[in-house]
């Protein structure tokens, strides 16, 4: 094994790559028996692994320091190269789909290979390459804009990520000032944020039409590789959220207002403070949080222990918040080495613990499935991936004392409450995007109005007021997924629903819950999301009973929660 910082990177020769992909495609077409076709297929696997490793190395190092000129140029290179290579990847996919040995391939490597290949074909055509490049550039512009934020606050200057902890400060005036300072920054850049999204919306709509769809939505679903549910299923899920979840989430905020001595409905700044004594915070340094993670994974299972030590020993986690670093967090894979990588921004809030539990949940799934062939089945779909991470957070709850010290009981309450209140927000993000792409002609102002209106449906507990940007009901522009990954967000909601199922299982029998978790995770991406769930003995979030049952259990749990001594 090699340390992350020593992993070699060199920009590949794009023309040579294209030639190689063309040669492999031709060889696959020329194969006269399965053994020959299989050999070509495995060669393509190796070359694809290497390509993805290089691309991810460039992407990771760029996001660690967006000011680094070398990786900035490499990031630009991949933004351009990606769509160009897609064309060659598509030729390969077509050859696979037309292969006379398709049945043999499916028997050995799984049907999902072809199911997803068919969807891939529907999500790309060379006629939209130029639009895709521009879309990538716009996404980079958005990320750079947010990463460049320098927010004046209390005499200092802070990045968006560094503002997070002020935005949950227990002092009402200070917290409100932080929200206002951050909101003002967005407001000052709103013209650019509007322009980027407006351009993206029109581009995406045009891509959808060029590919023969009725706008972007269908293309968006294919791009998210939705292979086991439709727009109608998602619509039904959103309806169940409104019916079962919104009332419970509303109750959480009513009780919060009472606890804080404030009147319901509260504004964004007050909704952000869960307890008068402050939100649960990790008790020690970043190193202490990582150490607590080590203890948790060591105790959870031999596999998780070995995994977490590997991540720490080989520099596969970059978690401190430093200047020039891109915001947010993610986990990706370095397939040549069979290891995951975790990127995050520690900021002294409970979010730091989530990096160790949530992102590492993703990483553990990749680590568990790193040897899978084809590599496209290492990870399942995005919604299925979020089950790995969100459920891991619940498995970590017994370690809350080590992560949070005296705040452990507050944490367990707010973790569950937060899971419940997140789903309506995430569903709102999804609903909003459906409207946006149904009506691409809307002006930026009309988009803001749409968000504001839906906010009243999904988050009735929010009082709009004089906080710039947020108080105007325009806060969607801080949600990067809306810009960079359309229709991604519902995945978190579907997964959160499944993770609440895990939460309920853990309450009953922890060992049994872990057995279900491993049964789910060991499958990697070998089948679709709904099949993964079924094989692991779990309910689908599209079954309305699923949401109803977890809501009832969680509501009962929160009602009975012993709040003695918690203020």
CB of residue 489 to Zn ion, shortest distance in Å: 12
The closest of 234, 167, 524 to 158, measured between CA atoms, is 167
The total number of residues shown for the chain amounts to: 567
- Contacts of 247 by beta carbon, 8 Å cutoff, 6+ apart: none
CB of residue 385 to Zn ion, shortest distance in Å: 7
For 341, phi and psi rounded to 5 degrees?
A: -135, 140
Q: State which residue, 53 or 499, has the beta carbon closest to Zn ion.
A: 499
Q: State which residue, 217 or 389, has the beta carbon closest to Zn ion.
A: 389
CB of residue 92 to Zn ion, shortest distance in Å: 29
Q: State which residue, 271 or 389, has the beta carbon closest to Zn ion.
A: 389
Q: Number of residues in contact with Zn ion, rule: CB under 5 A?
A: 1
The closest of 363, 380, 498 to 112, measured between CA atoms, is 380
Residue ranges in 145-184 that form contacts with Zn ion under rule CB under 5 A: none
Q: State which residue, 218 or 496, has the beta carbon closest to Zn ion.
A: 496
Cβ-contact 281, 347 below 8 angstroms = no
Q: State which residue, 24 or 387, has the beta carbon closest to Zn ion.
A: 387
CB of residue 559 to Zn ion, shortest distance in Å: 29
Q: State which residue, 274 or 389, has the beta carbon closest to Zn ion.
A: 389
Interface region with Zn ion, contact rule CB under 5 A, candidates 30-38, 103-111, 255-263, 389-397: 389-397
Q: State which residue, 80 or 485, has the beta carbon closest to Zn ion.
A: 485
Cβ-contact 465, 492 below 8 angstroms = no
Interface region with Zn ion, contact rule CB under 5 A, candidates 191-199, 271-279, 385-393, 476-484: 385-393
Q: In angstroms, rounded to a whole number, what is the distance separating the alpha carbons of residues 443 and 201?
A: 10
For 28, phi and psi rounded to 5 degrees?
A: -65, -40
CB of residue 360 to Zn ion, shortest distance in Å: 10
Q: State which residue, 164 or 389, has the beta carbon closest to Zn ion.
A: 389
CB of residue 386 to Zn ion, shortest distance in Å: 5
The dihedral through the CA atoms of 142, 147, 149, 154 has a sign that is positive
CB of residue 123 to Zn ion, shortest distance in Å: 22
The closest of 53, 43, 37, 38 to 20, measured between CA atoms, is 43
CA trace torsion 281, 285, 289, 295 (10° rounding): -130
Q: State which residue, 360 or 454, has the beta carbon closest to Zn ion.
A: 360
Interface region with Zn ion, contact rule CB under 5 A, candidates 135-143, 223-231, 343-351, 387-395: 387-395
The pairing of strands 330-334 and 339-346 is: antiparallel
Interface region with Zn ion, contact rule CB under 5 A, candidates 41-49, 62-70, 381-389, 541-549: 381-389
The residue with tokens 């939505």 is: 217
Indicate the angle between helix axes 408-438 and 231-240, nearest 10 degrees: 130
Applying CB under 5 A, among 218, 357, 375, 389 the residue interacting with Zn ion is: 389
CB of residue 297 to Zn ion, shortest distance in Å: 17
The closest of 13, 4, 14, 175 to 85, measured between CA atoms, is 14
Binding status of residue 450 toward Zn ion by CB under 5 A: no
Q: Which helix or strand (DSSP H or E) is residue 334 part of?
A: strand 330-334
Q: State which residue, 389 or 530, has the beta carbon closest to Zn ion.
A: 389
Q: What are the C-alpha distances in Å from 35 to residues 101, 111, 182?
A: 10, 18, 60
CB of residue 362 to Zn ion, shortest distance in Å: 6
Give the residue nearest to Zn ion (CB). Answer: 389
The SS3 assignment for 277 reads coil
The pairing of strands 339-346 and 317-320 is: parallel
Q: State which residue, 470 or 492, has the beta carbon closest to Zn ion.
A: 492
The SS3 assignment for 564 reads coil
Q: State which residue, 56 or 450, has the beta carbon closest to Zn ion.
A: 56
Interface region with Zn ion, contact rule CB under 5 A, candidates 134-142, 267-275, 383-391, 533-541: 383-391
Interface region with Zn ion, contact rule CB under 5 A, candidates 98-106, 376-384, 386-394, 502-510: 386-394
Burial tier of 457 (Cβ tally within 10 Å: 0-12, 13-18, 19+): middle
Instruction: Give me the numbers of helices (H) and strands (E) for the chain, helices first please.
Output: 26, 5
Indicate the angle between helix axes 544-560 and 490-508, nearest 10 degrees: 60
Cite the DSSP H helix spans in 264-371: 268-271, 286-300, 302-313, 350-354, 360-369
Q: State which residue, 227 or 389, has the beta carbon closest to Zn ion.
A: 389
CB of residue 252 to Zn ion, shortest distance in Å: 22
CB of residue 424 to Zn ion, shortest distance in Å: 19
Cβ-contact 140, 75 below 8 angstroms = yes
CB of residue 389 to Zn ion, shortest distance in Å: 4
The residue with tokens 């986990």 is: 331
CB of residue 364 to Zn ion, shortest distance in Å: 12
Cβ-contact 245, 547 below 8 angstroms = yes
Interface with Zn ion (CB under 5 A): 389
């Amino acid at each position: 094994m090699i340390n992350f910082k020593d992993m070699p990177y060199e920009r590949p020769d794009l023309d040579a790559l294209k030639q190689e992909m063309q040669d492999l495609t031709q060889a696959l077409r020329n194969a006269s028996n399965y053994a020959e076709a299989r050999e070509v297929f495995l060669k393509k696997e190796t070359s694809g692994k290497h390509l993805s490793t290089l691309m991810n190395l460039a992407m990771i190092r760029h996001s660690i320091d967006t000011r680094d000129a070398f990786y900035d140029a490499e990031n630009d290179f991949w933004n351009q190269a990606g769509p160009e290579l897609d064309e060659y990847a598509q030729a390969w996919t077509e050859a696979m789909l037309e292969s006379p040995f398709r049945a043999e391939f499916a028997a050995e490597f799984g049907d999902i290979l072809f199911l997803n290949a068919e969807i891939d074909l529907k999500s790309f055509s060379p006629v939209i390459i130029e639009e895709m490049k521009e879309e990538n550039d716009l996404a980079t512009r958005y990320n750079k804009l947010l990463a460049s934020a320098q927010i004046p606050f209390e005499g200092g200057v802070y990045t968006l990520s560094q503002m997070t902890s002020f935005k949950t400060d227990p002092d009402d005036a200070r917290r409100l000032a932080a929200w206002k300072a951050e909101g003002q920054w967005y407001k000052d850049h709103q013209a650019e944020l509007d322009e980027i999204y407006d351009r993206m919306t029109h581009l995406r709509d045009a891509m959808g039409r060029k590919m023969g769809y009725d706008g972007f939505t269908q293309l968006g679903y294919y791009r998210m590789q939705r292979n086991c549910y439709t727009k109608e299923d998602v619509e039904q899920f959103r309806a169940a959220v409104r019916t079962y979840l919104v009332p419970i989430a509303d109750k959480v905020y009513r009780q919060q207002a009472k606890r804080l001595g404030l009147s319901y409905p509260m504004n964004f700044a007050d909704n952000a403070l869960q307890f008068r004594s402050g939100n649960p915070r990790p008790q020690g340094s970043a190193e202490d949080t990582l150490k607590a993670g080590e203890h948790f994974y060591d105790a959870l299972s031999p596999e998780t222990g070995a995994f977490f030590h590997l991540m720490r020993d080989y520099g596969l986690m970059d978690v401190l918040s430093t200047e020039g670093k891109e915001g947010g967090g993610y986990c990706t894979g370095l397939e040549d080495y069979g290891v995951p990588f975790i990127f995050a921004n520690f900021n002294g809030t409970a979010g730091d613990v989530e990096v160790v539990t949530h992102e590492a949940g993703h990483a553990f799934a990749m680590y568990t499935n790193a040897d899978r062939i084809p590599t496209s089945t290492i990870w399942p779909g995005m919604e299925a991936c979020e089950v790995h991470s969100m459920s891991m957070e619940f498995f970590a709850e017994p370690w809350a004392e080590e992560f949070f010290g005296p705040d452990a009981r507050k944490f367990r309450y707010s973790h569950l409450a937060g899971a419940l209140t997140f789903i309506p927000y995430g569903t709102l993000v999804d609903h909003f995007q459906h409207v946006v792409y149904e009506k691409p002609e809307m002006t930026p102002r009309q988009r803001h109005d749409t968000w504001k209106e839906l906010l009243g449906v999904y988050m009735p507990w929010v009082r709009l007021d004089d906080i710039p940007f947020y108080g105007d009901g325009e806060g969607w522009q801080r949600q990067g997924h809306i810009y960079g990954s359309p229709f991604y967000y519902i995945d978190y909601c579907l997964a959160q629903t499944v993770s609440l199922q895990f939460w309920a299982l853990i309450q009953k029998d922890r060992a049994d819950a872990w057995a279900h978790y491993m049964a789910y995770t060991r499958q990697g991406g070998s089948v679709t999301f709904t099949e993964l769930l079924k094989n692991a003995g779990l309910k689908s979030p599209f079954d309305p009973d699923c949401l109803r049952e977890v809501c009832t259990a969680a509501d009962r749990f929160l009602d009975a929660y012993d709040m003695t001594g918690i203020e």
